Structure 1
Amino acid sequence: MVYQLTYRRPSHVPSSRESISGEEKQKSINDSITSGSSCMSAGIPEALSFDRIVSGGVCPPCTVRDFMNYLMYIEHAAENLQFFLWFRDYSARWEQLPQSERVLAPEWTQTQAEAEFTGIASTRPKRANPQVAALLKGTDFAEGTPKSTVDRADPFNTPPKLSPTDEKRDLMSDYGSSTDEKSYGSGITHQSVAEQAFGDAGMKWKPFTAQPYREEVSRIISIYIAEGSPRELNISARERSAVLHALQSTTHPTAFRSIIRTVEYSLRKQAHPNFIRWTICNGNRPRVVFARGLGIAGIIVGFVADLLITLSHASRPWRVIPFLGWFIGIATLIAAWKGMCVVLHGLHHRHLRPWELFSNDADDILDEKLLSRESFTSQTTNSYEDEPWIARYGKRNVVRKIFDRQIWVQEPALRQIQDTIFLQAVLAGFVLSCIFVGIFCAVPRGNFY
């Protein structure tokens, strides 16, 4: 069974830093959730929707673990999915808390969130009164004078006493490189990192330790939200300040509203389509390039054979024989251009990814396990340059990469997409081959030999 012959695989969505309002993001997310047809129009069937993937309703190679590996090794943005999965788990655990604990951390309403955004915008420097500016013109206190100059000129400007948070700033410079699971280093804990984040946002730390999950929230701030954190989310300074203002007062899941929309929007509208597009490819890059070369070679063989027959004394029916070379070459080239190897597709196989090839336990590739909560709250970075498979895979020669280990494609919806692309390539190869062979048959024979 295949999809419509007009099917097109998802287009590549580049990473965008466009300024989109929270309402537009939320509307786009809601449309993505409620409209299955919108997914199919983008080349993604309902069976491979974002919600089905993150809820564990698909088979390899489209599982949430495969999605995480793609974001880790291909797009280098695994922190978005890690934070999103943590937030889903956190929200579920919050709903299971007793009412006596939940009342300690009230909901952060939309009105409060909008008020915080307005307050953040109002903190921008205001232009001085024109009359005052005229009086101060030419002095060290005129508008635009560097702060350091004013400090030297004002004998009454006594530097404020450093707070304990400020005194720790020098110690915080290298916390992102720590790999210790309990703390960032000697005397530097997740709470101190959270204090640093609040200090950078111009707020004082209010340790409402009685609120549920306050320690875990401090850990999340130090891992995903604070500037320079190990898995810092790609959010704006305004969004960071808004979420910190909210977390200063409550640990309710609604406090993360300002950034969870950005994270979910990025996952649904950019990472998910790119993941499906990448997963459709059943061969690694050396195999796909090799398949393209075979397709071009088949086309060249068909063209040369038809040309030689046309220039000879042979009759026209002989010119149909190169049709096979044209057909195989064009069909192979079209399929390879979309990232598919027709030989692997005939077996419904795919190549193992480089990070799967050197797994200590081959069964881990087939066994889908829930990602642990500890992996979401680990302060280790998403860097993978030191993983052993990189050096081992780099030592493989090209021929071995072309014929790497294969595995069966388990997800039916993905096989259906690949069947559709294969059928499109076959039909296009047949039609174009008929046209090219027909052109050669219409040309009078050359009688040169």
Structure 2
Amino acid sequence: MGLLPLTYSRPSHVSREEFEARATSPSERASLRSGRSSLSAGIPDALAFDKIIAGETCPPMSVRDFMNYLLFIEFSAENLQFYLWYQSYSERFRKAPKSDLALAPEWTREMEEEIQVKLQREATEKMRRRPKRGQATDIFEGTDFEKRDPMAAEAIIELDSPPVTPKTQNDVEEAHPGELYNESVYCPSSLPSVTSTLRSPTSEAFHAAGAKAPFTIQPFREEIDRIISTYIMTLLHALSYTTHPSALDIAFKSVDASLRFQSHPNFVRWSVCNGNPPRVSFARVLGFSGIALSFGLAVMLVLSTASRGWRGFLAFGWAIGICTVVASYKGMCICMYAMHHRHIRPWELFLDAEEGAADSASKRSFDSLSSSNSFEDEPWLANYSSKNLMRKIFDKEAWIEEPVLRQIQDTIFVQSLLIGSAASAVLAVIFVFIPSGNFFSF
């Protein structure tokens, strides 16, 4: 396979805050739906999310590797578990007898919007019936909330984007200078305070689940109440009406967006790294050491009576050192790259035939209904932690089977080599033209 364009850059890390901020923007939300979002830039088509899920990729880019990444690195395996379960459930539902399907009608968008408006109207009516202390006037009188028609289209909350944690304008300007912040409907600053309105439905939800009423002065409790009354109550209404997969669309869309445009780019970026952190740091130290050694030799040659031509040979040392450093900052060890090897992950190191501890944890992670996603008690975790630094640096290696991942690494290596060659050529020319000091001879 050939190289990718030399302008290629591996996917940038997508933080939760960045994903949420972009997902609440109308223009970005449209690009998320179409699959053209900038959040997925740098991912070749062969490593697309759908191809990984369909099993069309090889280790270390398989769906099992993706699950392990979510389980052990991102700690969000429940998203992929739900996604895979929903796909399986939808397929099994479609194959059910027609007589059974007739008992579970589809949950439509119109029905979803009707429930949302109904819940908001009920909350509004309850709030209107509550008089102020000592008088019976409408507490919404004179407010923007009074003017808003609960049946209006803008009262319907967009549920195909994930909720966001409230942020102030100053917080956003510090994180993204010069950018405008599109407030989410979930932010307290963009909605009137209706905590008491939400308390009744949320209290009923907690009571139905057999849980105690929440501690109402906890931070972000108002936002959580909104999530319960909008997401959970709507979802419960849908599931009480039908078992059709469409009743779960509200949850599936949120999970799908999170997997596609946050977890998947981060997984591809993480998989490009062929060495563990100790090995990559070790390679970086060697690279800087090679650069420093070449500089030291260059200074000695300048101060000596040696011919200037000898200084040109130091370009090879600079090129290798700079190439090693640049590659290390992209997560690659060029020694392992030369063999197209990668370090075996910690949870892969302590497998015992078919019933390895890490393997059993990985298998359980695919069980959406019984997995606890907890691996703190797995023996491999303690075993790996007890290994000394040198053993971690020279850990076991495995062949990279996925050809497109090797193609990405080839491209990164060539980029690093070009940067190293250009920089070393400049340094060599500079030192060649410096007059000799003639202080000593070899």
Matched, 1:202 2:171: no
**Offset, 1:124:** 3.5
Give the alignment partner of residue 307 of structure 1, picking from 296, 299, 323: 299
1:263 aligns with 2:255: yes
Alignment counterpart, residue 391 of structure 1, candidates 365, 382, 388? 382
Whether contact under 8 Å (1:240, 1:259) holds in the other structure is no
CA distance in 1, matches of 2:320, 2:247: 58
Aligned to 1:15: 16
Say whether the 8 Å CA contact 1:13–1:274 is kept in structure 2. Answer: yes
Match among 338, 341, 355 for residue 347 of structure 2 = 355
Aligned to 1:4: 5
Written as runs of structure 1 = structure 2, the 5 A alignment for 1:14-413 is 14-16=15-17, 17-18=20-21, 20=23, 27-32=30-35, 42-124=41-123, 128=128, 133=132, 135-136=134-135, 202=204, 236-237=227-228, 238-361=230-353, 375-378=367-370, 380-413=371-404
Give yes or no for contact 2:327–2:416 (8 Å, CA) kept in 1: yes
Partner of 2:439: 448
In terms of mean alpha carbon deviation, does 116-125 or 294-303 score higher?
116-125
Flag structure 1 segments of 5+ consecutive residues without an equivalent: 144-197, 207-217, 219-234
Q: Shift of residue 128 of structure 1?
A: 4.8
Judging changes above 3 Å, is the alpha-carbon distance between structure 1 residues 373 and 418 closer, same or farther for their aligned structure 2 residues?
closer
Residue 28 of structure 1 and its aligned partner are, at CA, apart by 3.8
SS at match of 1:287: helix
Structure 1 residue 205: Cα displacement: 11
Q: Give the letter aligned to residue 74 of structure 2.
A: E
Q: Structure 1 residues 362, 290: CA separation in 2 closer, same or farther (over 3 Å shift)?
A: farther
- Deviation per residue, 1:304-335 (Å, 9 max, x gap): 11111112222211111211210110011111
**Deviations, residues 179-208 of structure 1 (Å, cap 9, x unaligned):** xxxxxxxxxxxxxxxxxxx985736999xx
C-alpha distance 364-273 of structure 1, shift in aligned 2 (>3 A): farther
SS at match of 2:60: coil
Aligned partner letter, 1:79: E
Alignment-derived partner of residue 409 in structure 2: 418
Letter in 1 for 2:256: E
Q: TM-score, length-normalised on structure 2?
A: 0.74
1:382 to 1:363, Cα distance in 2 relative to 1, 3 A: closer
Moved more, 107-116 or 355-364: 355-364
Q: In 1, Cα distance between the equivalents of 2:133 and 2:424? A: 82
Distance 1:361 1:417, change over 3 A: same
* Secondary structure in 2 matching 1:381: coil
Query: Mean alpha-carbon deviation: is it higher for 411-420 or for 119-128?
Result: 119-128
Say if 1:108 and 1:246, in contact at 8 Å, map to a contact too: yes
The one-letter amino acid paired with 1:333 is V
Deviations 1:153-202 (A, max 9, x none): xxxxxxxxxxxxxxxxxxxxxxxxxxxxxxxxxxxxxxxxxxxxx98573
Aligned residues of 1:205 and 1:248 also touching (Cα < 8 A): no
Q: Identity rate of aligned residues, in percent?
A: 44
Rounded to whole Å, the distance in 1 between the matches of 2:366 and 2:412 is 40
Unaligned 5+ runs, structure 2 = 140-199, 210-225
State how far apart, in whole Å, the 2-side matches of 1:343 and 1:89 are.
Answer: 42
* 1:201/1:59 CA distance change after superposition, 3 Å: farther
The question of whether the paired residues in 2 share the 8 Å contact of 1:283 and 1:351 is answered with yes
CA distance, structure 2, for counterparts of residue 242 and residue 12 of structure 1: 33
1:364/1:64 Cα in 2 relative to 1: closer, same or farther (>3 Å)? farther
Counterpart contact for 1:298–1:325, Cα < 8 Å:
yes
Question: What is the alpha-carbon distance in structure 2 between the residues aligned to residue 342 and residue 89 of structure 1?
Answer: 41
Contact 1:29 1:264 in 2 (8 A): no
Taking structure 1 as the reference length, the TM-score comes to 0.72
The separation in 2 between residues aligned to 1:268 and 1:201, in whole angstroms, is: 34
Q: Is the 8 A contact 1:349 1:408 kept in 2?
A: yes
Q: Distance in 2 between matches of 1:299 and 1:78?
A: 42
Shift of residue 425 of structure 1?
A: 0.8
Q: How many residues get paired?
A: 358
**CA distance 1:415–1:104, change in 2 (3 Å):** same
Q: Structure 1 247/24 Cα, relative in aligned 2: closer, same or farther at 3 Å?
A: farther
Query: Following the alignment from structure 2 to structure 1, what is the Cα–Cα distance between the partners of residues 431 and 347?
Result: 49
1:121 Cα offset (Å): 3.0
